[in-house]
A and B are shown apart, each in its own frame.
Chain A
Amino acid sequence: MWIFSNTEEQQMLQESVQKFVYKSYDFDTRNQIIASEKGFSQENWDLFAELGWLTVPFKEDDGGFGGSAVDLAVMMEEFGKAMLVEPFIATAVLAGGVISEQGSAEQKAELLPKIMEGSLQLACAYAEQGSRFNLANIKTSAVVEGDTVVLNGSKTAVLNGSNAEILLVAARESGAATDSEGISVFLVEAASAGVSIQSFANVDGKKSAEISLKDVSVPVSQRLGTSGSALQALQDGVDRATLAVSAEAVGAMESLLHKTVEYSKTRKQFGTAIGTFQALQHRMADMFIECQLARSIVIMAAMKLDGGESALEKTKSVSAAKSRIGRAIQKVGQEAIQIHGGIGMTEELDVGHLFKSVTAAEIMFGNTDYHTQRFASL
């Protein structure tokens, strides 16, 4: 029998996020957080640690809550509804995930507890100009000289790059630019000589950075795992992050739908609520359908990640989810603005920001076309 209802634990997790959002994350507060120096709230981050949220992505072996993808999705959906900008995906899901997969026992023991207790910010620097969404396309070079490694290259779209103390830098030790072998991930202190960071906020309010590495030396011991073997861990980490951002988008779309329907009931033109026009009713019905399909496929992917499927099936289901939610994003986002009319175009109203958030989600970790083609090729 199929059971799609949340477990008691998942329900508690969901309610705890909902309570936090209700109490401490209204739209104005969010705007203030984005405008702040760091672009996220340390106070919130400490609270996330206290509430145990930062342990959710991690396996019990790592001292985490269990690492269930369904748990993660339940939580991300609530984050998405309120457009949380705290670097949960960057630090806990992506960087934490790569360390958990690829790090040595000592590295894990050193770093994972710090992530979970909220005292360490990380960023995973893998994408480069020219790599587009291909994780194996890495030109940043890593040359071993005795006990040190020298890194050269530049990284783009590094989520949380400006707040991270340690960067996980994917670099090539051997092979040609798109080979799957030869890629290693190094732990690089952001303050190291030769690292320059250009920081900015993305269209969804989350902090990101462009990073260049010029003759950056790190001890060889800062490599995660063995030389040239990191691609699989990177891919698994990005797959989990992809699921997380998809679930987040499902939440944001839910908000878009809800707000649009409510607005259409109150906005009057031609002496009647615009929600009474059948032309708009059908469009909102379509938005609802899109939201439901998006949710279904994200649940499917999460269940597969947690289940006994092959690695290939797991990856494929993540691409399926990202591809499908990408289509939903375009439809739901655009219709929400259209049905709001001019007011939907303004910075003042949250609807536009939800639209921008889901637009960013469509691109993060590979856009719709990329994942459709990846699905077809796997």
Chain B
Amino acid sequence: MNADFTAEELQFENEVREFLQNDFPAEYREKVDAGIRLSKDELVHWQKILYKKGWAASNWPVEHGGTGWSATEKHIFATEMGLIGAPEPVPFGMKMVAPVLMAYGSDEQKQRFLPDILQSNVWWCQGYSEPNSGSDLASLKTSAVRDGDEYVVNGSKTWNTYGQYADWIFCLVRTDTSVKKQEGISFMLIDMKTPGITLKPIVLLDGHAEVNEVFFDEVRVPANNLIGEENKGWTYAKVLLTHERTNISGVPRGKRRLAALKRLAGNTDDGFGGTMLENSAFKTKLAEVDIELQALEYSELRTLAALSVGKAPGPESSILKIVGTELAQEMDELFVDLAGYNCLPFVPEQFEDGFQGEAVGPGNSAAAALSYFNNRKLSIFGGSNEIQRNIISKAVLGL
């Protein structure tokens, strides 16, 4: 066994570190540290910086303008990004629809869509879930009926993250109702500006409208926006889901947050003349999180090792999703714990970009509860943690 990097890998690590130190804008870093959401423009700007460096698409092959990195290089890059707090490229284009386009899109579709994704010219959102089809995604009902050179789409999608920013949406739609539910689904790309599409923001518990409901009323979509074959969409989507489940453990971000927790604990009065870093109960919880993070990191490295010798990510990657998200949620609990009374004020607007008023509470302590509420999503989306456990029971344990 050997978990050391090679000399080349170490050199690469240095290069990434140096680049991020110099080129990840300091003001974004400050915002991220202060718990302030980066705006769409800022996210796009950052992605364009990555693009210029040639590092926008760490998971793409070279032929499409990706880095062509090995699993280890991707890991190094993701680690350094996470440690410094640089946001990963918005996943919907880069990580979700692009791999499907590469695998199943026509040449014309690849040429039409991939460059704009790579350069962050076009913002994508994911249109899978529906009000009545969440965990049971295959039961989705939004219909697409062929009419000459077009499909006519009717129905509604929900929980579309950042749909308010999106230029395009990739959807799973029902094209055949007469067969088994998985066999009548197609994968379709839809321009958000098409007449008949309306968006309704959904405000979440942290006071922010991060997701949307999207309604389709007689929306006419050119037939050449269909990916691959009609009724094969479920197969394509499943491929995408496995992509979604790599690099999901969030270990680098976890490390960064753990370091922040330690710093904060050292600066938080325990009320008795010491700091929370000396509080036995808190110290124990910090240690538990630290240890779990290490166990998770090595679980991820073991998965990566399998990937780097060409194995497909197996159902074991569900472990990374479950543990990674639950650990992130535990860290939120620790931030809430440290903030004490300071996380009670509900003033979400003070963490929006451009807030001018008088802030409540010291630092970003009032963001702790907001993040705690918001991150309950982590165990719900991307295949809920119950669904992940079902996968482990069935596909790994054979139950």
Tell me the A residues contacting B by CB distance below 8 Å: 127, 129-134, 137, 156-157, 177-178, 198, 200-205, 208, 210, 268-271, 277, 279-280, 330, 334, 337-338, 341-342, 344-348, 352, 355-356, 359-360, 363-364, 367, 369, 372-373
Known: A201-B346, A330-B333. A131 touches B380 (CB 8 A): no
Would you call B204 and A157 a contact (CB within 8 A)?
no
Would you call A346 and B135 a contact (CB within 8 A)?
no
B5 within 8 A of A: no
Which partner residue on chain B sits nearest A347 by CB separation? Answer: B203
Select one of B129, B159, B268, B358 contacting A198, CB under 8 A.
B358
B38 within 8 A of A: no
A198 — which chain B residues lie within 8 A by C-beta?
A: 358, 360
Select one of B134, B207, B282 contacting A369, CB under 8 A.
B282
Q: List the 7 closest A-B pairs by CB distance, nearest first.
A: A132-B271, A134-B271, A157-B341, A269-B136, A347-B203, A130-B269, A369-B281
Interface size grouping (class) on chain B = 35 or more
Which partner residue on chain B sits nearest A279 by CB separation? Answer: B386
CA distance A269 to B136 in the complex (A): 5
Known: A157-B341, A157-B344, A356-B205. 18 other contacts (CB 8 A): A131-B269, A131-B271, A132-B269, A133-B271, A137-B271, A270-B135, A270-B136, A279-B390, A337-B376, A344-B376, A345-B380, A346-B204, A347-B207, A352-B204, A352-B373, A356-B346, A359-B372, A369-B282
Select one of A203, A342, A363 contacting B159, CB under 8 A.
A342
CA distance A346 to B386 in the complex (A): 20
B271 — which chain A residues lie within 8 A by C-beta?
A: 130-134, 137, 178
Interface centre among A132, A137, A280 (most CB of B within 10 A): A132
Would you call A269 and B135 a contact (CB within 8 A)?
yes
Select one of A268, A342, A372 contacting B380, CB under 8 A.
A342
Would you call B376 and A345 a contact (CB within 8 A)?
yes
B327 CB to nearest A CB, Å: 14
Would you call A178 and B272 a contact (CB within 8 A)?
yes
Would you call B134 and A342 a contact (CB within 8 A)?
yes
B362 within 8 A of A: yes
Find residues 272-311 in chain B having any chain A CB closer than 8 Å to their own CB: 272-273, 279-282
Would you call B344 and A269 a contact (CB within 8 A)?
no
Would you call A363 and B376 a contact (CB within 8 A)?
no
CA distance A270 to B136 in the complex (A): 5
B136 — which chain A residues lie within 8 A by C-beta?
A: 269-271
A330 — which chain B residues lie within 8 A by C-beta?
A: 333
B19 within 8 A of A: no
Select one of A208, A279, A348, A369 contacting B345, CB under 8 A.
A208
B90 within 8 A of A: no
A363 — which chain B residues lie within 8 A by C-beta?
A: 336, 340-341, 343-344
Would you call A367 and B345 a contact (CB within 8 A)?
no
A359 — which chain B residues lie within 8 A by C-beta?
A: 336, 369, 372-373
B379 — which chain A residues lie within 8 A by C-beta?
A: 338
CA distance A346 to B268 in the complex (A): 32
Would you call A372 and B269 a contact (CB within 8 A)?
no
Known: A130-B271, A279-B389, A355-B205. A367 touches B344 (CB 8 A): no
Interface centre among A205, A271, A363 (most CB of B within 10 A): A363
B109 within 8 A of A: no
B119 within 8 A of A: no
CA distance A270 to B140 in the complex (A): 11
A355 — which chain B residues lie within 8 A by C-beta?
A: 205, 373
A130 — which chain B residues lie within 8 A by C-beta?
A: 269, 271
Would you call A203 and B134 a contact (CB within 8 A)?
no
Would you call B281 and A200 a contact (CB within 8 A)?
no
Select one of A132, A201, A203 contacting B340, CB under 8 A.
A132
A271 CB to nearest B CB, Å: 8
A337 CB to nearest B CB, Å: 5
B272 — which chain A residues lie within 8 A by C-beta?
A: 134, 137, 178
Select one of A134, A208, A342, A345 contacting B344, CB under 8 A.
A208
CA distance A202 to B340 in the complex (A): 13
Would you call A200 and B340 a contact (CB within 8 A)?
no
CA distance A355 to B206 in the complex (A): 12
A268 — which chain B residues lie within 8 A by C-beta?
A: 132
B40 within 8 A of A: no
